[in-house]
Amino acid sequence: MTPNPEKNAQYALRSRVLHWLMATLLLSMLFIGVSMVSSLRHYHHLVALHRPLGIAILILAVIRLVNRHFSELPPFPATMSAKERLIASASERLLYGLMLALPVVGWAMLSAGGYPIVMWGSFHLPAILPTSIALYTVLRKAHSLLAFLLFAVFLGHLSAVLFHTLVIRDGLLRRMLWRTPRT
Amino acid sequence: MNSASSEVAQHSARETLSRVELLFRLACIGLVVLGTASLFAYAAGWLTPRALTPARMIDAFERANGQHTGFRRNHAKGLAVSGHFESNGRGVALSKAAVFQPGIVPVIGRFAIAGGQPFANDTATSVRSLALLFTLPDGEQWRTGMNDIPVFAVNTPRAFYEQLVASAPDPATGRPNPARMSDFLARNPASARAIQLIRARPKTSGFETSTFNSLNAFRFMNAAGEVAAVRWSVVATASKSTATVPSAGENYLFDALIAAIQHAPLTWHLIVVVAGATDPTNDATVAWPTDRQRIDVGTLTLDHAESEETSRARDINFDPLVLPDGMAASDDPLLSARSAAYSESFTRRAGERKEQSAISNAEVRK
CA distance A178 to chain B (A): 22
Give the torsion through C-alpha atoms of A117, A119, A122, A126, to 10 deg: -40
- Indicate the pLDDT class of residue B301, thresholds 50, 70 and 90: very high
**CB-CB under 8 Å, A45 with B322:** no
Q: Which residue of A has its CA nearest to B339?
A: A44
For range B97-125, the mean pLDDT: 96
Active site residue B75: yes
Coil, strand or helix at A172? helix
Buried b (16+ CB within 10 A) or exposed e, A73-100: ebebbbbbeeeeeeeeeeeeebbebbbb
- Are A49 and A32 spatial neighbours (Cβ–Cβ below 8 Å)? yes
State how far the Cα of B220 lies from the Cα of B230, in Å rounded to an integer: 7
CA distance B243 to chain A (A): 35
Helix (H) or strand (E) holding A20: helix A13-36
- Are B340 and B56 spatial neighbours (Cβ–Cβ below 8 Å)? no
**CB-CB under 8 Å, A167 with B25:** yes
pLDDT of residue A16: 93
**CB-CB under 8 Å, B316 with A124:** no
Q: Which is higher by pLDDT, B112 or B11? A: B112
pLDDT of residue B112: 98
pLDDT of residue B238: 85
State how far the Cα of B158 lies from the Cα of A140, in Å rounded to an integer: 27
From the CA atom positions of chain B, what is the Rg in Å?
26
Residues of B in contact with A110 (CB under 8 A): none
- Indicate the pLDDT class of residue B16, thresholds 50, 70 and 90: confident
Q: Is A83 on the interface with B (CB under 8 A)?
A: no
pLDDT of residue A116: 97
Q: What is the mean pLDDT of chain B?
A: 93
CA distance A142 to chain B (A): 13
**CB-CB under 8 Å, B315 with A133:** yes
pLDDT at B5 over 50: no
State how far the Cα of B14 lies from the Cα of B68, in Å rounded to an integer: 67
> In chain A, which residues have pLDDT < 70?
1-8, 180-183
Q: What is the pTM of this model?
A: 0.92
CA distance A6 to chain B (A): 11
The pLDDT tens digits of the residues spanning B230-259 come to 999 999 998 776 555 566 789 999 999 999
Of B11, B75, B269, B304, which residue is the catalytic one? B75
Residues of B in contact with A45 (CB under 8 A): 336
CA distance A63 to chain B (A): 28
pLDDT of residue A9: 82
Residues of B in contact with A166 (CB under 8 A): 25, 28-29
What is the number of CB-based contacts under 8 A between chain A and chain B?
A: 128
State how far the Cα of A38 lies from the Cα of A44, in Å rounded to an integer: 12
State how far the Cα of A143 lies from the Cα of A137, in Å rounded to an integer: 10
Q: Is A35 on the interface with B (CB under 8 A)?
A: yes
Q: Is A13 on the interface with B (CB under 8 A)?
A: no
pLDDT at B18 over 70: yes
Q: Which of A40, A78, A116 sits opposite B322 (nearest CB)?
A: A116
Q: Which of B43, B51, B336 sits opposite A44 (nearest CB)?
A: B336
- Indicate the pLDDT class of residue B4, thresholds 50, 70 and 90: very low
**CB-CB under 8 Å, A78 with B325:** no
The pLDDT tens digits of the residues spanning B64-103 come to 999 999 999 999 999 999 999 999 999 999 999 999 999 9
Q: Which residues pair with B143 in a beta bridge?
A: B133
Q: Which of B45, B315, B329 sits opposite A44 (nearest CB)?
A: B329
- Are A9 and A75 spatial neighbours (Cβ–Cβ below 8 Å)? yes
What phi-psi label fits residue B195: left (phi over 0), alpha (psi between -120 and 50 degrees) or beta? Answer: alpha
Residues of A in contact with B351 (CB under 8 A): 133, 137, 141
pLDDT of residue A171: 85
Residues of A in contact with B6 (CB under 8 A): 6, 78
pLDDT of residue A180: 60
pLDDT of residue B1: 38
The pLDDT tens digits of the residues spanning B306-355 come to 999 999 999 999 999 999 999 999 999 999 999 999 999 999 999 999 88
pLDDT at B8 over 50: no
Q: DSSP readout, B345-357?
A: HHHHHHTS-----
Reported ipTM: 0.92
pLDDT of residue B246: 62
From the CA atom positions of chain A, what is the Rg in Å?
19
- Are B315 and A133 spatial neighbours (Cβ–Cβ below 8 Å)? yes
Q: Which residue of A has its CA nearest to B15?
A: A169
Q: Is A1 on the interface with B (CB under 8 A)?
A: yes
pLDDT of residue B240: 74
**CB-CB under 8 Å, B14 with A40:** no
pLDDT at B282 over 90: yes
Helices (H), A78-169: 82-112, 133-163
pLDDT of residue B14: 61
Helix (H) and strand (E) counts in chain A: 5, 2
Residues of B in contact with A124 (CB under 8 A): 139-140
The pLDDT tens digits of the residues spanning B71-80 come to 999 999 999 9
Residues of A in contact with B141 (CB under 8 A): 116
The pLDDT tens digits of the residues spanning B150-183 come to 999 999 999 999 999 999 988 888 888 999 999 9
Q: Which residues pair with B103 in a beta bridge?
A: B87
Closest Cα to residue B56, out of B360, B337, B363? B337
